[in-house]
C-alpha cells in the first residue's frame, strides 16, 4: 500500500542508498558491497554523526587553525555496548571509594574564624556524603580576587596560541577522565548514566569550540582601505571574570563559562553551586593539570553570601551566571551599583531559566509527540532550564494525547541513578522535593491531575514520580512559574492561533517546541513562537554546542548564546587603532 511505497521511496532516495551511490556517485559494486566500518573513540563510541556535524558547523570553520579539523560534537557514549557499561561500573566503584574526602581552599584561615563546610550528599542516598568542602568566608573573596588580578596580568599577555593550547589540553583531560567525571555526577547530583555522560561531552564541546573561535578573535581586523590610513579593530581581555554556576549541569556549564573567560585572556574566580562543589573542584584540577598558571583560576566554594560579595567586588568587571531568575535579577541589580574603587561598568552574562512549552497540533504524529514531550519533561527529573513544563494541545487531539502521554510517563522506570536502566531518578534534595509537592497540592485547586506520583514507587526520600495536570489555563500559577521537577501541565487550545498565544504568554522565552506536519503551522511557529531555541518535531532539551547555541530572551536571560560564534565577545573589550601612514619628514634618531 501507500506506506510501503513511501518506505521504498525513502530508502532508495536517501543520500547513502546503494542506488544513488551507484548511479549518481559512480561507485563500483565491489566498493558498495564492502562491509561497513565505524571508527570511534575508545571511550565514547556511539554515532557516526561526523558528516552531519560537518554540514551543520561548516560556517564555523573560520575559527579553526591551519591543518586542524573543523569542530564536531563529541559523541555520546553508547551504553548498549558491554564495554561501555563495564567501564562505567568500574568508574562508579572507583569514585565511591573517594566519597567523603575533604577539600580545602588555598586560603589561610583568618584568625578567630572557623570555616563553615559544604557537605553535598548523594540525592539517591542522602546518608552518603559526597565530600566535605571548606566554604569561603568574606575575606576569602577579597583574597581570591586579589590573586586573580595579580596573576591575570601575565595571563592576558600570554599569546592566544598558548592559551588555546592550555584549553585544548583541558579538553583532552576531560576525555581521558570521562567515565570518572560522569560517575561523580551520578553521586553528587543524581544524574543517570546518559545524562551524566552527556554533561561531560558538552564540557568537551565547549572547550573545543571556544578554542577554535579564539583563533579568529586573536587576529586584528582591518577596517577600511583608505590610502594613507591604517585602521585595526582588536580585542583585549576584560580582567577578572566571576563565574557562578548551577548544580544541574555541574561540569558542562561551568566549563563553558570558565573556558570562554580563560581562552580570551581573563583570570577567573569560580564559585560553583553549594550543591555540587566536588564536581566543580574536579574541573579546577583539570585546568591545573592542563598547565594553567597558578592563580589564574581561583576556586571559591561557598554559600550565597560569598557570591554576593564576589558580584559586588570593584575589581570584577564581568559576571557569568547560570541559575534561577530570582538570583539572576539580584545579580543584575547589584552589578548596576558602582562600588568605591570600581573603574568599569560591570558586564553580566546570565541564563535564568524558563517555563517552556511544546505545541502539539492536530496534524502531529502522536507517536513522535508523546515521545518528545515525555523525554523533555522527564529527562533528569525535569531539573533542566530547558525542560518542557507546558504542553499546549489542540482540542481535536487533546484527550487522545493526554491518555497516551500518561501511559508513557507511568511506564518510566524509577530507581537509583547508579543503575543503567533507570529512567527517573531523585530530585536534588529535600528543598526541591517540598517545592514540587507544594505545586502538586496547588494542582488539585487549579486543574485536574491526570497522573500523580505513586508513593509505592519511591526509592528514597528525594524521589518524586511524574505528574500530568490538565484543565490548566495560562493565568494559573502552574502555567507561569518554573517548577523544576517532573511535573507537566497541559493546556487545551481551540486552534493554532490560541496555541501560539498561550506559548508566548509567560515572562520567559528560553526553549519551545512544535510537533506538526503542517507546513503552514511550522512556518508560523518559526516567525511567531518567540523563544531563544525553537525545536520542531523533536524534543526541546539537549542543545548541542555549535549547532544549537543556547540562551533565551525576556526574563530567561541576557547575553549571547552559549556555544555560539559571538559568545566570546562578552569576555573581551574592543579597541580601534588608527595610524596615519603618510609620514612627513624623517627623524634619524627615531628610526
Cα 46–51–56 angle (5° rounding)?
110
Cell numbers at residue 490, please?
A: 497541559
Radius of gyration of the chain, Cα coordinates, nearest whole angstrom? 26
Instruction: Provide the annotated active-site residues.
Output: 351, 385
Cα 191–439–302 angle (5° rounding)?
50
Strand partners, 134: 117
Sheet arrangement for strand 297-299:
297-299, 267-271, 240-244, 318-322, 347-351, 557-558
Half-sphere exposure at residue 298, Cβ-oriented, CA atoms within 13 angstroms: 29
Q: Do residues 273 and 428 make contact, with C-beta atoms less than 8 angstroms apart?
A: no
Q: Do residues 298 and 283 make contact, with C-beta atoms less than 8 angstroms apart?
A: no
* Dihedral (CA of 77, 78, 79, 82) sign: negative
Cα separation, 449 vs 470, in Å, equals 6
Q: Do residues 398 and 492 make contact, with C-beta atoms less than 8 angstroms apart?
A: yes
Bridge-based pairing of strands 240-244 and 318-322 is parallel
Q: Strand runs (DSSP E) across 21-120, as ranges?
A: 101-103, 117-118
Cα separation, 2 vs 21, in Å, equals 25
Cell numbers at residue 101, please?
A: 574526602
Q: Do residues 496 and 459 make contact, with C-beta atoms less than 8 angstroms apart?
A: no
Cα separation, 98 vs 358, in Å, equals 42
A 10 A CB-CB count for 37 gives 7
Cα separation, 173 vs 309, in Å, equals 32
Cα 537 to Cα 52, 102, 416, 504, 540: the distances in Å are 18, 47, 31, 19, 9
The residue behind cell 547513502 is 16
The residue behind cell 563510541 is 45
Helices (H), ranges, 218-272:
252-263
Cα separation, 304 vs 283, in Å, equals 20
Cα separation, 176 vs 226, in Å, equals 51
Amino acid at each position: 500500500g501507500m506506506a510501503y511505497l513511501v518506505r521504498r521511496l525513502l530508502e532508495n532516495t536517501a543520500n547513502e542508498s546503494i542506488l544513488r551511490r551507484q548511479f549518481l556517485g559512480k561507485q563500483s559494486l565491489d566498493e558498495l558491497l564492502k562491509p561497513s566500518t565505524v571508527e570511534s573513540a575508545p571511550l565514547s563510541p556511539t554515532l557516526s554523526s561526523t558528516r552531519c556535524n560537518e554540514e551543520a558547523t561548516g560556517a564555523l570553520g573560520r575559527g579553526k587553525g591551519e591543518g586542524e579539523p573543523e569542530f564536531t560534537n563529541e559523541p555520546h557514549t553508547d551504553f548498549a555496548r558491554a564495554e561501555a557499561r563495564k567501564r562505567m561500573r568500574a568508574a562508579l566503584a572507583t569514585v565511591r571509594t573517594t566519597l567523603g574526602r575533604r577539600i580545602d581552599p588555598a586560603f589561610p584561615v583568618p584568625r578567630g574564624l572557623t570555616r563553615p563546610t559544604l557537605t553535598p550528599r548523594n540525592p539517591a542516598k542522602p546518608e552518603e556524603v559526597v565530600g566535605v568542602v571548606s566554604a569561603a568566608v568574606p575575606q576569602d573573596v577579597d583574597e581570591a580576587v586579589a590573586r586573580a588580578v595579580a596573576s591575570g596580568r601575565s595571563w592576558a599577555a600570554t599569546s592566544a596560541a598558548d592559551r588555546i593550547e592550555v584549553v585544548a589540553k583541558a579538553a583532552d583531560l576531560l576525555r581521558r577522565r570521562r567515565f570518572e567525571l560522569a560517575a561523580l555526577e551520578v553521586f553528587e547530583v543524581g544524574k543517570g548514566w546518559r545524562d551524566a555522560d552527556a554533561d561531560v561531552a558538552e564540557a568537551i564541546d565547549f572547550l573545543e569550540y571556544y578554542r577554535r573561535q579564539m583563533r579568529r578573535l586573536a587576529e586584528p581586523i582591518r577596517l577600511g582601505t583608505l590610502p594613507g590610513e591604517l585602521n585595526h579593530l582588536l580585542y583585549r581581555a576584560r580582567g577578572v571574570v566571576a563565574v557562578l554556576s548551577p548544580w544541574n549541569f555541574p561540569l558542562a556549564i561551568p566549563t563553558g563559562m570558565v573556558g570562554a573567560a580563560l581562552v580570551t585572556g581573563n583570570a577567573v574566580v569560580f564559585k560553583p553551586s553549594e550543591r555540587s562543589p566536588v564536581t566543580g573542584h574536579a574541573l579546577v584540577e583539570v585546568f591545573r593539570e592542563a598547565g594553567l598558571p597558578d592563580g589564574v583560576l581561583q576556586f571559591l566554594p561557598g554559600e550565597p553570601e560569598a557570591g554576593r560579595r564576589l558580584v559586588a567586588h570593584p575589581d570584577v568587571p564581568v559576571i557569568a551566571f547560570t541559575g534561577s531568575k530570582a538570583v539572576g535579577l539580584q545579580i543584575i541589580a547589584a552589578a548596576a551599583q558602582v562600588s568605591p574603587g570600581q573603574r568599569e561598568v560591570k558586564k553580566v552574562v546570565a541564563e535564568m531559566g524558563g517555563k517552556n512549552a511544546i505545541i502539539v497540533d492536530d496534524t502531529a504524529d502522536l507517536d513522535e509527540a508523546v515521545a518528545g514531550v515525555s523525554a523533555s519533561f522527564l529527562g533528569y527529573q525535569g531539573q533542566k532550564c530547558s525542560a518542557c513544563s507546558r504542553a499546549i494541545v489542540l482540542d481535536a487531539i487533546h484527550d487522545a494525547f493526554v491518555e497516551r502521554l500518561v501511559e508513557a510517563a507511568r511506564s518510566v522506570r524509577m530507581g537509583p541513578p547508579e543503575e543503567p536502566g533507570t529512567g527517573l531518578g531523585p530530585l536534588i534534595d529535600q528543598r526541591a522535593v517540598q517545592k514540587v509537592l507544594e505545586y502538586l497540592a496547588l494542582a488539585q485547586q487549579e486543574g485536574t491531575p491526570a497522573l500523580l506520583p505513586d508513593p509505592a514507587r519511591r526509592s528514597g526520600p528525594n524521589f518524586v514520580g511524574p505528574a500530568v495536570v490538565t484543565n490548566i489555563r495560562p493565568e494559573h500559577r502552574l502555567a507561569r512559574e518554573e517548577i523544576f521537577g517532573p511535573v507537566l501541565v497541559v493546556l487545551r487550545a481551540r486552534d493554532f492561533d490560541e496555541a501560539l498565544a498561550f506559548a508566548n504568554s509567560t515572562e520567559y522565552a528560553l526553549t519551545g517546541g512544535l510537533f506538526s506536519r503542517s507546513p503552514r503551522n511550522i512556518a508560523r511557529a518559526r516567525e511567531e513562537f518567540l523563544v531563544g531555541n525553537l525545536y520542531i518535531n523533536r524534543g526541546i532539551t539537549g542543545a548541542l554546542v555549535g549547532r544549537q547555541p543556547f540562551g533565551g530572551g525576556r526574563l530567561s536571560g541576557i547575553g549571547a548564546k552559549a556555544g555560539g560564534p559571538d559568545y566570546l565577545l562578552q569576555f573581551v573589550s574592543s579597541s580601534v587603532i588608527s595610524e596615519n601612514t603618510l609620514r612627513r619628514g624623517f627623524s634619524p634618531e627615531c628610526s
